[in-house]
Chain A
Amino acid sequence: MIASISVVILLPFAAAFAGMLLGPRLSDRLRPRRPAGEAAETQAAAVPGGGPRATGPAWWRAALAAERSPLRNGPALIACLPVAVAAVLAAVAAFAVWRAPGTRTGTLTLIETGSAPVEVGLRVDGLSAVVGLMVCCVALAVQVYSVAYMAKDPRYSSYAAFISLFTAAMLLVVYAADLLLLYVGWEVMGICSYFLIGHHWENRANSRAAVKAFLITRLGDVGFLFGVFALGLGARSFEIGEVLARAGTLPDATVTAAALLLLAGVAGKSAQFPLHTWLPDAMAGPTPISALIHAATMVAAGVYVVARVYGVFLEAPAALTLLGLLAVISMLGSALAALAQDDIKRVLAYSTISQLAVMAAGLAVGAWNGAVFHLLTHGAFKALLFLAAGCVIMTAGSNMLRHYGGLRTGMPLTFWSMTVGLAALVGVPPTSGWFSKDAVIEAALHTAGHGGDLAPAIPGAPTAHIPAGAAWLVYAGLLLTVAVTAAYAARLWLMTFFGEPRGRYEVREAPKAMSWTVAALAVPSAVLGFFGLGADELRPHLGSAVPALVLAAAGAGAAYYVWNRDPAVDPARALGPVRDLFARAFRVDDLYAAAVVRPVRALARRVVTVDGRGVDAAVVGAARGARELAEPLRLPQNGNPQTYLTGLIAGIVLLTAGAVILL
């Protein structure tokens, strides 16, 4: 079991390097022998770059050619096949865990550090098995999709290699049995995210977005690392099982501090308030990247880590309360922000923040199963939504909602898939999102109703208590979010697929590698919820489902009502004066710019000035001063022998006179 899991991790890892080094050469090897003229034309169409935005006939030709012969694309083969094998192995492992539940751990090697040893080990239990399977499936879908989507990109091989590396890192996080090993994967994900967001670095905005994402997640990662240290040194082991077992015996202060520090990393990685601002900007990356990293897997890593060390959080109710409050702010604020966005990818990005906040809220109110379930369903339907959005973007050649309209008839596969995805996002029964969100809402209601006592999530786990007010707040926030989510999802749906076309482009279905991938993802989005019927707490409850459904219908109905009055204009116009505020996400970016960016820039400028006028000038001045001081000394050395001789004789006379006088 452990061996096969390590193969699951190592396959994408090896694929990353193999794809980077050997991919293009493999393409050359696989290129069929053709008449010279045709080969030259294919080559000319395949090379010119600029990303999918640079649409045009040449790009279409190249994309269709790539679709026709994916087996001749070296980097694509190296990227897709290992992930497919890894997905199969992960599925086998998940099946085995389902048949015989329990935790399996294995240590590959032990690194002695002098104090707590670092254990390079893997841990497979129910949580890691299903999340690992989800990661593999989404990564496979994204890789297959990218073959067509990025066909014309000149740096496709490095792109695919980074996705493979990212997949390996995420799998390492999922399967790691040791907190430090987990941290390694966590950091590799961060750097891959940086590279992939800045894939089209020629555009300055993209590289800025990459730097922003890197810096903000790094800010959280510092806290995360110290949290890991606090836990590991407190428990005298970094092994997750040991840490969880000893969490109850640690002092309250240690546990609370560690949990709060971990929370910083979680907020950074999962884009929760107040470290959420990088995620909307990270949409600068290619759309499959948004699907993989910023929807389904990397941002889910934060929530996953909370679920992984949930025992520690149960011992620190303060951290749980804070998590709940942050989640409420994040889910409601970003849902409102999504309501007013123009860019389809930014709508989805804010909805990602909102849905991650739903998971975090679930964890805060003790719905461990519900949160993890929502993590899985969200991974499926958000990947679906992003990939479908990629199809729409490719067809329309624009990211802007106001350029779409009437795409329903032209691209039915994308339309129906996206409908399923949006339904899951809103929580329309019987799609998967309904089940998982209902479980979270039910848990929030239960906790609020019991005065803040958390339901025992894991059998035998200690119970915890959070303030009842916080629980009620979480419940109210969840219900409101459901309504707003329905509204923005309906707006997106209506503006994209209905009404009159608002752009001059030919509406046609995307290449098959893309559209069929989307269609394949629609299946789990639709039916994944039924897998939850096996667990008691995941079954739908009437008491929580009815208000949520009513609110969702109200939100969607409101959006439809506004849109129906004039399908040609943006329903967000009805928001009136607050629309601008929502579109700017409550000006948090402006606040950060004023509070952090500008002072730091001013400080940097001052430091440069001090360096230039103080430090540097001191060094240069010392050299110049030495030369100026030496100038008078150099004056006698003018090359005139008479001067030298004068000095010589004067010296002799002085010596003689001295000798005569003194002796």
Chain B
Amino acid sequence: MHAAYPAVVAALLFSVGVYGVLARRNAILVLMSVELMLNAVNLNLVAFDMWWRDRLHGGQVLTLFTIVIAAAEVGLGLAIVLLVYRNRRTIDVDRLRTLAEDGASRTRPPDGDDAAAAVRGGEGSAT
């Protein structure tokens, strides 16, 4: 099998993951996109393990490790997301603007209104 097939699929998956990370607002969707990128890496690892005919199966073992680490990452990531949700009543990443400088309020949408809207939206969806 030509090595380009898995490589191209992995590259495309990775790019789709990149798009998801950069374009999605919902933190859980961002986490999903990260999973996509990790899987693209896994595919590469497996394919090149086959290419090298590695007797120690380093690529595949590393894939297993990656899967485990990805699972732990998802667990921690979700915990963080839930914590953020509990504190802010929103998990939209583009509304978490605490990194911004305080004086930059002219270019920033009014925070208080947004937060209030998020709270209202959250309650509405819950009921």
A and B from one assembly? yes
**Which residues does chain B contribute within 8 Å of A619, judged by CB atoms?**
none
Residue among B18, B21, B97, B101 making CB contact with A640, cutoff 8 Å: B97
Residue in contact with B107 in the complex, picked from A634, A642, A644, A646, CB distance below 8 Å: A634
- Tell whether, in the assembled complex, residue A638 and residue B107 are in contact, meaning their CB atoms are under 8 Å apart: yes
> Which single residue of chain A is at the shortest CB-CB distance from B18?
A649
- Tell me which residues across on chain B come within 8 A of A637, comparing CB atoms: 100-101, 104
The answer to whether the Cβ of A639 comes within 8 Å of any Cβ in the partner chain is yes
Chain B interface size, under 10 / 10 to 19 / 20 to 34 / 35 or more: 10 to 19
* Nearest neighbor of B25 in chain A, beta-carbon distance: A642
Q: Please report the C-alpha to C-alpha distance between residue A638 and residue B106 in the assembled complex, in whole angstroms.
A: 10
- B22–A639 touching, CB < 8 Å: no
A38 on interface, CB distance cutoff 8 Å: no
Q: Is the CB of B94 within 8 A of A634?
A: no
Interface string of A517-537 (1 = CB under 8 A from B): 000000000000000000000
**Chain B's nearest CB lies how many Å from the CB of A657?**
14
Q: Which residue of A lies closest to B21 (CB)?
A: A645
Residues of A within 8 A of B107 (CB): 631, 634-635, 638
- Asked whether, in the complex, the Cβ of B18 is within 8 Å of the Cβ of A642, the reply is no
Shortest CB distance B64–A (Å): 28
Q: Which of A637, A639, A640, A644 has the most CB of B within 10 A?
A: A639
- Considering the complex, give the chain A residue whose CB is closest to the CB of B100: A639
Is B99 close to A, CB under 8 A?
yes
Residue pair A641, B93 in contact (C-beta under 8 Å) = yes
Q: Which of B105-127 contact A (CB under 8 A)?
A: 106-108
Taking each of A631, A635, A640, which has the highest tally of chain B beta carbons within 10 Å of its own beta carbon? A640
Are the C-beta atoms of A645 and B22 separated by less than 8 Å? yes
B87 at the interface (CB under 8 A from A): no
Assembly CA distance A644 to B97 (angstroms): 12
Residues of A within 8 A of B22 (CB): 642, 645-646, 649
Tell me the complex Cα distance, A635–B98, Å: 15
How far is B22's CA from A638's CA once the two chains are assembled, in angstroms? 15
Query: Known contacts A631-B107, A634-B104: does B21 contact A641 (CB below 8 Å)?
Result: no
With an 8 A cutoff between CB atoms, is B96 at the interface? yes
With A and B bound together, what is the CA distance between A639 and B98 in angstroms? Answer: 6
- B98 / chain A contacts, CB cutoff of 8 Å: 639
Q: How far is the CB of A412 from chain B (nearest CB, A)?
A: 83
Chain A 634-663, CB within 8 Å of chain B: the 1/0 string?
110111111011100100000000000000
A638 & B21 in contact (Cβ 8 Å cutoff): no
Residues of B within 8 A of A640 (CB): 93-94, 96-97, 99-100
Specify the chain B residue showing the minimal Cβ separation from A640: B94
| Given the contacts A634-B104, A645-B22, A639 and B99 also touching, CB distance less than 8 Å | yes
A5 vs B93: C-alpha distance when bound (angstroms): 92
* Cα-based distance from A396 to B111 in the complex (angstroms): 77
The interface residues of chain B lying within 8 Å CB-to-CB of A645 are: 21-22
Alpha-carbon gap, A642 to B22, bound state (A): 6
- Closest chain B CB from A639 CB (angstroms): 3
Per-residue contact bits, chain A 561-594, to B (CB 8 Å; 1 contact, 0 not): 0000000000000000000000000000000000
Do the beta carbons of B99 and A642 come within 8 Å of each other?
Answer: no
A638 contacts B93, CB within 8 Å? no
The answer to whether residues A642 and B104 also contact, given A649-B18, A649-B22 and a CB cut-off of 8 A, is: no
Nearest opposing residue in chain A for B94, CB measure:
A640
- Chain B residues lying within 8 Å of A644, measured Cβ to Cβ, are 99
Q: List CB contacts (< 8 Å) of A92-147 with chain B.
A: none
Question: CA of A344 to CA of B97 in the docked complex: distance in angstroms?
Answer: 81
12 pairs, CB–CB < 8 Å, chain A vs chain B: A631-B106, A634-B107, A635-B107, A637-B101, A638-B104, A639-B101, A641-B93, A642-B93, A644-B99, A645-B21, A646-B22, A649-B18
Interface residues of B (CB under 8 A from A): 18, 21-22, 93-94, 96-101, 104, 106-108
Q: A638-B108, A639-B96, A641-B93 are known contacts; what are 13 more A-B pairs with Cβ within 8 Å? A: A631-B107, A634-B101, A634-B107, A638-B97, A638-B100, A638-B104, A639-B99, A639-B100, A639-B108, A642-B22, A642-B93, A644-B99, A649-B18
